[in-house]
Amino acid sequence: MQHVDALRATLPESTKDLRLNLSSVLGGEVLSAEQTWSVALTAAYFLRSVALRDAVLADAREKIGEGGVADAQAAAAIMAMNTVLYRSRHMIGKESYHHRRVGLRMNRMAAPATSKAQFELCSLACAALAGCEACLKSHEESVLKAGLSEEHVHEALRIAAVLNGVATAADLRETA
């Protein structure tokens, strides 16, 4: 975790809680190391924080391999698209939109390089970051159907939440 630790050390003292939380969620015991770092990398890509992305990628690559990196990129990009569409349809609130064909390609979700469960955990993290209720519910259900537990879901959400805070903290250090 050398690169993430280096980033963590540059965060302002006012964000000490985030520095501590980052270590905690990346060293958790519920998710495997591969799941943890895949979720973290996907969240970092989704958040578009260059400093965070670069640090997480440098530490994650060895743990998740090139297939894991590619899945993290795919999950972040697909969910950037999906959360806009599904959140918007949900917020409009008209049943008529739910009967319309989505017509967007998402083949990687069905055939990830890693595993369906891991890809769904990564997608769940993005859904949380985007605040998309429909996507959250859908991906939580898929994670559970893939054989993981609510503890796995909870840990993925914790990672997404902390990385969101760290992305903000990293921006703070650049404006100080």
Q: Which of the following is catalytic: 26, 125, 127, 132? A: 132
CA distance 102 to 119: 20
Alpha carbons within 13 angstroms on the beta-carbon side of residue 49 total 24
Could you confirm whether 135 is annotated as catalytic? yes
Single out the catalytic residue among 135, 148, 159, 163. 135
Angle at the Cα of 38 (from 34 to 44), degrees rounded to 5? 150
CB 83 within 8 A of CB 135: yes
Per the annotation, the verdict on 132 as an active-site residue is: yes
In the numeric block, the tokens 């697909």 are attached to 78
- Catalytic site positions: 132, 135
